[in-house]
Amino acid sequence: MCGKNLCSGSSTLGYYWSFNIEPSMKLPATTSKLLALQEATNAELRLRLAGIFQRYRKLAFMGRNDNLFIEHWTPEVAAAGYDFDGFEVKGAKIVLHGVENACGFVYRINITLPLEIIDDANAMEAYFQRQIDDNKTEAELTAATSQPADPAAL
């Protein structure tokens, strides 16, 4: 599919087509300059997405309710050793990957968010805060229903 100044080897642009890419955008004429542009763009994307990952990585551990985890960790502490490792776009969502190397093992976590909010810091904050609130509510309900009956009350 080729437009006036923008060509794609694929006829399906999927989610990206909804972004209004300016028709006057000119791509570099040489392949080497196009590769340099891609490298610079990828570096900037990784920097921005790493910031989002660092801020919200604890969400990968929200909702854990196994006793061993709860006794030794909080989501913040568990996520602290994870560094941003990359991203992928899956439909209308973006998945941010994190990795931690510890004691010869490689541990991986992911957090996912809708692409439609990627440019809106307030919307991202609200989205992740809803996830935190939902996990807290679920954990409280699980704790309340799994409590053994008080023998003194019998």
Provide the residue ranges of all domains of the chain, joining segments of one domain with +: 40-141
Question: Which residues are 98's β-sheet partners?
Answer: 84, 109
Cα separation of 103 and 35, whole Å? 37
Cα separation of 24 and 150, whole Å? 71
The whole model's pTM is what?
0.73
Residue 10 pLDDT more than 70?
no
Cα separation of 152 and 154, whole Å? 5
| DSSP state, residue 153 | G
| DSSP state, residue 3 | -
Confidence of residue 70 (pLDDT cuts 50, 70, 90): confident
Least confident window among 87-91, 99-103, 141-145: 141-145
Name which of 118, 47, 114, 124 is nearest 83 in CA terms: 47
Token pair of 113 as six digits: 């968010």
Taking residues 80-106, report their average pLDDT.
96
pLDDT of residue 20: 62
Question: In this predicted model, what pLDDT tens digit does every residue of 17-64 receive, in sequence order?
Answer: 556 666 677 889 999 999 999 999 999 999 999 999 999 999 999 988
Spatial CB neighbours of 83, under 8 Å, sequence gap ≥ 6: 50, 98, 99, 100
